[in-house]
Structure 1
Amino acid sequence: MELHIWARSGGHCGRSEPYLAPPGVDLPDQMECARPELVQIWMPHLVKICFSVSTDLVEIWTRLTLLAGSDGDDDKESTATKEVQSSVSNEAVPSDVGLFGNITENLREVCISMGTDHFRILANDYPKTKREYSGVNRFLNPSAFTRVLPNGEVVSRDWLVYSPGKTCVFCFPCILFSSDRSIKLCTSGDNDWKNITQNLKSHETSTKHIDSVLTLAHRSAAAGRIDAELHKNMIEQHKYWKNVLTRCVAIIAFLLDSTPDITHTDQLTIIIRHVNITNYEPVERFLTFIPISSHTGQNLADTLLQYLPEQNIDFTHCRGQTYDNASNMSGKYIGMQQILKNKNSLVDYIPCAGHSLNLVGQSAMDCCVEAVSYFGFLQRLYTFFVVSTHRWGILLIHIEHKPHCLIPKHLSDTRWSARADATEAVFQGYRQFHSALEEIPADDSQNRDTQNQANALAEHMGTIEVSFMCELWNDILQRFNQCSKLLQSATIELTTAIGLLKSLAQFISDCRETFDI
């Protein structure tokens, strides 16, 4: 048996509208009669049809409601009509979520009105869920419907429902609202009882599950019905983690370094790192420069511990300290980090990742004679041009017509980004640099020493070894420099830093494999 959708013009607004009519029931000539009274007349036929064919009952009722209330007067809907809506909707949706079938908007509305408790089927045991793993029988355990919070409190998993028809468990909010149909808990169900605990933990902490639960709570509130337990658990979890983050705001970490200024006065730089309470993101704040006379770990620690109380900063709230790898800072016995840790055992020391990376790069270069020779050449090239305005002018003439061509850069032992810049400059303007060097020996205005230096540099730059090292080190140092800059970000996380270093190590390893030895 099927339903017919009829359209007839007229009515109050003179527009054509669709009307549902069961076979054998004539539509009235005047559409203005199609109001709650008409719905009451049609409803017995509709109920009979809906129980005899697989028709979406809720969708039929929605269309009838739109028809009956098209004049915008909801107050005219009769009490009998509301009772029919309630009884028909409840009859149409099975209590077993495994038998839902296609998820429609109308099904969501009915499920929201019923609440999660209507679909939860709890028992002391579930004998029909038996599964065999290597000769061992496993069943669904009632403990799967609860979980233990980090503070030891046991709470109910009100989102988890059991399907007797499929002998599986499902996530009720995800069934209704998740768009990811690859999740077993919202499609076919999960009956892997051996790994169910881990599966549920992974699911309930996923972003998609949390979004679905929040959507259900929001829709329930909009419909005038809150699923009390589910909503209560979400609120409690929200408060728990908010309190954790709020406590983290009082926790600080220290970043220290020392360096001489232009007056050759050595100064200790103090920076604190804390959590912003508004967005829960890490923030770094510079505090001060403090002149120091000694670089011993004890003196540096005493200087810091004396400064903090003056600024009303409680050292017991500190949970981290970060410096470079100098022995006076990182020493295991008398280094600054150990002295501070003796004062506060919770102050964990984390070496500066950027500085550690620089040390690795420096040590790797020192192990290769060819690399030492190449970077020595870059420094000589920079010095040759920069000490004379005349030579610098000749170089600028050669590179001014080359797009993105850089001037020579000075090398630095502590800042490996300078080595990356120096190598990139030569890589981008290799021909222009070489042409400028070749022009200078032919310039009679230059003295003999300058001509000889230019000629020697031009010959060395023309060798296959220099061109090869320039190509190789430019690739390595650009990747190296990108990693170093990311490690210096104020918002970088420890896990991200580890991933960056592993990626860089893999890149270097892949570079090795591209050459035959």
Structure 2
Amino acid sequence: MHYIRDVPNGENYDRKWLVYSVSLDKVFCFCCKKFAKKYLVGLLVDEGINDWHNISDRFKSHELSKQHIESVASLVELEKRLKLKLTIDASLQEQVNQEKKHWKQVLERILAIVKRLGKNNLAFRGDCEKLYENNNGIFLQMIELLAEFDFTMQEHVHRILKASTKRWKVFIDHVPGLTVKTLSGSRWEIRVESVKAIRFQAPEIKEALNYLKNSKEDAKTKSDDETLSMYNILNFEFLLDMVIWYDLLCVVNNARKILQSKDMVAIKELKFLLSFLQKYREIGFEEAMIEATKIASKMEVEPVSMEK
């Protein structure tokens, strides 16, 4: 009921500025939180209010304050400018809208392909997982076919190929020994090789991402690279998970190969795998922490978990 304001002439108005935090069990003023000057900050802006017995009086007092009136006016002005596309970032906003429209159309087409393949119980993947390669599966073949006649998918495929070529060149220059991994092996071997590149060359990959982030690429590419650099590879949790994942993948992959043989060696290897996993639970995590800390030191990453 507090979201409705009763005025003396009998009319009712929604308090659109009022927002409630479920986790904090408090209410805040959205307008003032976004537009009020910091030295004028009050409880509804900074700490929030949950004094439910006196909250009506608090709201009335806040609504009459100069700070709140100016903040509401700023929000109304911003809404008008956004509708008329008169904001400073109008061109950027238009790019964002176009990008959203593009991805919506791409997803609609991909979902249509997925539904059709699923309806007919057809396999999606092939021996190769790259566009315009032989035996790359029905799904990618359908993407290629659609790109021949549909402009949206044609543009999307062009983006993928263009970005992949440029980024790959940068990674080759910054990460010594990095090569294209073949997909002819087993799924497990592919996983091991993929994680191995990051496990042992994380500092070099960080430099490559920084180069891409500061290059003259389009805003979308730079944003993706910045996200990968700042929130993934520069995240200590990511580095720790990477070390653990690589350790587990290696031993499981080795065991998988041996278990394919039907002899006593396979039984021995299975026992070794179980022993390794049990031992890893006891001391493996500490050893992984040490390795991750060494990598973090080289990358100038603080060895603490990031809050999410």
Q: Same fold (TM over 0.5)?
A: no
- Comparing both structures, which one devotes a greater share of its residues to strand? 1
- Comparing both structures, which one devotes a greater share of its residues to helix? 2
TM-score, reference length from structure 2: 0.38
